[in-house]
Amino acid sequence: MPKKPLVLIVDDTTKNIQVLGSILLEHEYDIHVAQNGQQALNAVNVINPDLILLDVIMQELDGFETCRRLKANAKTQHIPVIFLTAKTAEEDMLKGFELGGVDYVTKPFSSVVLLARVNTHLNLKFAYEALEKSVLLRENVDHIIRHDLKSPLSGIISVSSLLDEMPDLELERRQKFIKNIKNSSYRMLEMINNSLDIYKMETGTYVCNPEFVDILSVIKKVVAEIEYITQINNLSVDILHHGKSTSKQDLFTVRGEQLLCYSMLANLLKNAAEASPNGEHISVSIDKNDSYCILSIHNKGAIPESIRANFFDKYTTANKHDGTGLGTYSAKLMAETQGGTINFETSEEMGTTITVSLPNFVGNQKQGEHI
């Protein structure tokens, strides 16, 4: 059930409070009452009202000074203030607007006018907040897309460099490299075209269209694309099932989306390669139960203790010069969007294991599949 808007009524006359309160309560608003300016200033930091109805003429701290202090405080300056007054002189109204008030309601109160003003300024406030949130989400999505594009782009650059440095490369290997470049390019294009989907995932409006995905094939593509990192750091990558290497005949199917699975695993495997100590190996273990395909990515590096509590949160990073803290965040977003889960275990002794569970694809399986 959506939260009712909360209106703070500030007036030193009990009769006015009763009239205002009855009008607002009857029309599904929550109210809080302060009987002077200082009470109002103390209350706003605790209750965080959506709007303030503020009497101008009060003893000690009048409405104008109360409004000035509200607008001088970064925590309360965003709250719309409507003045309640019997004063209708132009100079008084102008002073109120200059101090940051958004409107006036004159005494005696008209319930129709009061509600119209309250509704208008609450709608404006909520619309502005929604706009700010939308802009922030768009900026976050841009960061995520730029981050996720790094993996296929790095693959293109590294393979292109190899082709340039090895002009006498045999035809079969050359064709394989060219195919990798083409595949990475198409994946980048697809990511750009689907950038709006990340925004929808963040806002909870993304509609997942699950299909048959051979997750083993996706893993192999990603491993090929991060070869530039594994070669530099002298790493080996093993893809295992029950402790044994997988074969070309193996097929592990999940119920998900091809691009989401690729982007998720590209982030996780790239992070594992960057976090692994030189000369070690990374293992990707695949298993299944009745409901899920379970992928475990292990490397010998430990997650820094300072970020373990919020490892999957946005912008969480440590010890990475160009890290954005978006890789694990977007991986979590993609796993959960596909109906899966993601978690980790880490220690200095054992290294780090990221475990992703994705729903099994229920359908015809090829012969030779390990389940």
pLDDT tens digits for range 299-321 = 999 999 989 999 988 767 766 54
- Looking at residue 96, its amino acid is G
Q: What is the pLDDT of residue 172?
A: 72
Give SS3 for 130: helix
Dihedrals phi, psi of 85, to nearest 5 degrees: -160, 155
Strands 244-245 and 292-299 come out as unpaired
What's the CA gap between 163 and 182, in Å, rounded?
14
C-alpha triplet 103, 50, 25: angle, nearest 5°:
90
Identify the band that residue 369 occupies on the pLDDT scale cut at 50, 70 and 90.
very low
- Quote the pLDDT of residue 69: 95
Query: Pick from 320, 202, 206, 183: which is nearest to 262 by CA?
Result: 183
**Count of beta carbons in the 10 Å neighbourhood of residue 264:** 30
Q: What is the mean pLDDT of the chain?
A: 83
Q: What angle do CA 306, 311, 314 make, to 5 degrees?
A: 115
Length of the chain: 371
Within the chain, which residue ranges are assigned CATH 3.40.50.2300?
A: 6-109
Give the separation between CA 31 and CA 20, rounded to whole angstroms. Answer: 9
CATH of 132-359, one of 1.10.3720.10, 3.40.50.970, 3.60.15.10, 3.30.565.10: 3.30.565.10
Q: What are phi and psi of 299, to 5 degrees?
A: -135, 165
Region 245-270 average pLDDT: 88
Q: Is the pLDDT of residue 366 over 70?
A: no
Token readout for 163 is 């082709």
Position 81 scores a pLDDT of: 95
Burial track 159-187 (b if 16+ CB lie within 10 A, e otherwise):
beebeeeeeeeeeeeeeebeebbebbeeb
The pLDDT confidence band at residue 191, using thresholds 50, 70 and 90, is low
Please, are residues 155 and 183 in contact by the beta-carbon 8 Å criterion? no
pLDDT band at 363 (very low <50, low <70, confident <90, very high): low
Instruction: Tell which wins on pLDDT, 357 or 231.
Output: 357
Res. 79: pLDDT tops 90: yes
Determine the 3-state secondary structure of 83 from DSSP. Answer: strand
Higher pLDDT, 260 or 363: 260
| Helix and strand numbers, DSSP H then E, in the chain | 11, 13
At 102-136, the pLDDT tens digits run 999 888 888 898 999 999 999 888 877 876 766 66
Is the pLDDT at 92 greater than 80? The verdict is: no
Task: Give the C-alpha separation, 141 to 146, whole Å.
Answer: 9
- Element at 218 (helix H, strand E): helix 215-225
Is the separation of the CB atoms in 218 and 260 below 8 Å? no
Of residues 51 and 185, more confidently modeled: 51
pLDDT at 156 over 80: no
State the pLDDT confidence band at 371, using cuts at 50, 70 and 90: very low
Chain-centre distance of CA 175, in angstroms? 40
CA dist 149 and 330 (Å) reads 12
CA atoms within 13 A on the CB side of 192: 10
| Topology, domain 6-109 | Rossmann fold (3.40.50)
Residues of the chain with CATH 3.30.565.10: 132-359
* Residue in the structure block whose two tokens are 């029309």: 27
**Any idea which of 40-49, 161-170, 183-192 has the lowest mean pLDDT?**
183-192
* Residue 351 vs residues 103, 176, 274, 283: alpha-carbon distances, Å: 61, 34, 13, 12
Above 70 in pLDDT, residue 280?
yes
